[in-house]
A = this chain, B = another copy of it.
């Protein structure tokens, strides 16, 4: 991931130089420069640029830029920034911006707006588009129905290649991008799909039903959109057809949306594992502080809990201060080994590699790994204990405590996420606190307890 600056700049359209040039133009209110630079730019790049600058500059830029904001740019923006930018737009500007978006992008945009803003956007849409968006908003938040685009191309299953081409060449309104034609029976039930490549490469009289893909599969509007995205990745699908209760085709989820969605999910998992719930780099200090706070508070409670364990052994420590010096090592090694196990388990649960079929094998493996690494580090630490403090028994105590804690780390690191998942609690968010509490408590208890028994 470490590349020289120049290559990074090549990949996306935004260079540091460009950002500072744009900020200069904003500073002197140079609308012509801004139009020249920003109007031809890809919406994703403009959004990326807006994310790079701070809130004050963003406001000034939107005022100074006469071209104004297209809907595409709004779609590409970080969710938090989107709200900030939309608040700045007049209802009519907002309406202009959204009119050309695909239905799924409109839904994505309006779902978290306040009622007045939402109404302004919906009013700007054609009656038929409005119905589609309002329908999508009736599906649950993370469902396929909420995230599908309704623009798609379907054809009666008895059509031929020639009929399909004539239909596409007629004045029908086509989606911006489409890669399949979905075949439907007279009841609009989806029965298969044909790639455009196959249509183009066969004679006009070929029946479409002879060209369908055998990997065709459909998804229900109520299905979790993350599952659909994972299936798209798993089966290398470009278009995932979404059907309603009557098996009628009502929309599609396209691979580019699925890709963006999986990226966001992985991102969320990474942040959750570090104890941060959502958030982006452009958040302000107070929002960020609030997001970081809960996990730190949980950690404080678990740390105090570990301290209570230590306080049980105050007399032991008073008798041999070397124990206070060495005890964090046992807890820290257990914590790290536990984090390794739990990270593997959390990701394997997310990607469905960890299932009832192999959970026991994985637990057994993690415990064994903990045991082997524990034994190796026990020998090392035993030697350190002897050399540093000149006490063979202290070496034995730290070695045994190390083995115990690392075995427990492997066990807790796997069992805790699995149990949390079974209980319906997000293992990415909650596992860390539980696992480190276990390894801290076990680490301090084993080390100080053994010391109390064997050393004093």
Known A11-B227, A266-B270, A353-B51; contact A307-B325, beta-carbon cutoff 8 A: yes
For chain A, which range describes its interface: under 10, 10 to 19, 20 to 34, or 35 or more residues? Answer: 35 or more
Are A236 and B256 interface neighbours, CB within 8 A?
Answer: yes
Considering the complex, which residues of chain A in the window 315-361 have a beta carbon less than 8 Å from any beta carbon of chain B?
Answer: 317-318, 321-329, 331-333, 336-337, 339-340, 342-344, 347-358, 361
A274, A326, A381 pick with most chain B CB within 10 angstroms: A274
Binding-face segment, A92-100, A127-135, A191-199: A191-199
A123 to B353, CA, bound (A): 35
Number of copies: 2
Considering the complex, which residues of chain A in the window 170-206 have a beta carbon less than 8 Å from any beta carbon of chain B?
Answer: 174-175, 177-179, 195-197, 199-203
A342 to B358, CA, bound (A): 33
Q: Find A421's partner among B1, B354, B384, B425 (CB 8 Å cutoff).
A: B1
Closest to A356 in B: B16
Are B328 and A321 interface neighbours, CB within 8 A?
Answer: no
Are B352 and A329 interface neighbours, CB within 8 A?
Answer: no
Contact with B along A279-307 (1 / 0, CB 8 A): 11100110011001101110110011011
Determine whether A163 belongs to the interface, using a CB cutoff of 8 Å to chain B. Answer: no
Q: Find A324's partner among B178, B200, B324 (CB 8 Å cutoff).
A: B324
Are B260 and A263 interface neighbours, CB within 8 A?
Answer: no
Contact with B along A22-33 (1 / 0, CB 8 A): 000000000000
Min distance, Cβ A342 to any Cβ of chain B, angstroms: 8
Q: Find A179's partner among B3, B42, B196, B263 (CB 8 Å cutoff).
A: B196
Q: Find A300's partner among B356, B377, B440 (CB 8 Å cutoff).
A: B377
Closest to A362 in B: B281
Are A343 and B200 interface neighbours, CB within 8 A?
Answer: no
Are A347 and B306 interface neighbours, CB within 8 A?
Answer: no
Are A42 and B274 interface neighbours, CB within 8 A?
Answer: no
Are A200 and B165 interface neighbours, CB within 8 A?
Answer: yes
Contact with B along A54-72 (1 / 0, CB 8 A): 1000000000000000000
Known A238-B255, A276-B344; contact A307-B281, beta-carbon cutoff 8 A: no
Chain B positions within 8 Å of A52 at CB level: 353, 355, 357-358
Are A336 and B275 interface neighbours, CB within 8 A?
Answer: yes
Determine whether A311 belongs to the interface, using a CB cutoff of 8 Å to chain B. Answer: yes
Determine whether A259 belongs to the interface, using a CB cutoff of 8 Å to chain B. Answer: yes
Determine whether A88 belongs to the interface, using a CB cutoff of 8 Å to chain B. Answer: no
Q: Which residues of A contact B (CB under 8 A)?
A: 1-3, 5, 7-8, 10-12, 16, 19-20, 42, 44, 48, 51-54, 164-165, 168-169, 174-175, 177-179, 195-197, 199-203, 215, 223-224, 226-228, 230-238, 255-256, 258-260, 262-263, 265-267, 269-271, 273-276, 279-281, 284-285, 288-289, 292-293, 295-297, 299-300, 303-304, 306-307, 310-311, 314, 317-318, 321-329, 331-333, 336-337, 339-340, 342-344, 347-358, 361-362, 365, 368-369, 372-373, 376-377, 380-381, 384, 420-421, 423-428, 440
- Show 14 A/B contacts (Cβ-Cβ < 8 Å), sorted by A: A1-B350, A2-B420, A3-B224, A7-B224, A20-B357, A168-B201, A169-B200, A196-B197, A236-B256, A255-B256, A271-B347, A292-B340, A310-B325, A328-B331
The 3 closest A-B pairs by CB, nearest first: A274-B343, A266-B266, A196-B196
